[in-house]
Amino acid sequence: ANFSEQVVESFPSDISTGIYYGWACVGNGDVHKMVLSIGWNPFYKNIKKSVETHIIHTFKEDFYGEVLSIVIIGYIRPEKNFDSLEALISAIQEDIEEAKRRLDLPEHLKLKDDNFFHLPEGKIVNDH
């Protein structure tokens, strides 16, 4: 799930590029573990910074147009380039496993139920 350019531009400018982990919620659905990439994706030679969320869950349907709420909990590693698509995929799988391990820690698990993910219907936060 990629954030729009407008949302990416609203991220703090001093946030380090790299791979993060945390919690994500689509619409008013359940909260799931996620891995987040912030940066230029050097393997794909992107010229614009992107913020891409990999929700660790299989959805039955696409969720284009839904609100994606995330809480970034921690940092896994810096952004880097890869020699092959296979090496990139392998790193992504390792990032996912690392995120799963860290998010199972009690201090991170409790944030899954934070009120941030359970706002009253129609409530707008920070103009979003």
The answer to whether the pTM exceeds 0.75 is yes
Match 């573990």 to its residue by tokens.
33
Question: Which of 5, 9, 52, 94 is an active site residue?
Answer: 52
Residues 37-77 pLDDT 10s: 999 877 777 778 889 999 999 988 888 888 899 999 999 99
Fold of the domain built from segment(s) 5-117: Elongation Factor Tu (Ef-tu); domain 3 (2.40.30)
**List of residues 6+ apart from 36 with CB closer than 8 A:** 19, 20, 21, 22, 51, 52, 53, 54, 70, 72
Residue 126 CA to residue 120 CA, distance in Å, equals: 15
Say if residue 72 is exposed, middle or buried (CB neighbours under 10 Å; 0-12, 13-18, 19+). Answer: middle
In the block, tokens 């299989």 appear at 58
* Euclidean distance between CA atoms 32 and 70, whole angstroms: 10
Domain extent listing, the chain: 5-117
Question: What pLDDT does residue 121 have?
Answer: 58
Residue 43, judged by CB atoms within 10 A of its CB (0-12, 13-18, 19+), counts as middle
pLDDT digits (tens, 9 = 90+) for 72-114: 999 999 999 999 999 999 999 999 999 999 999 999 999 999 8
- Does 52 participate in catalysis according to the annotation? yes
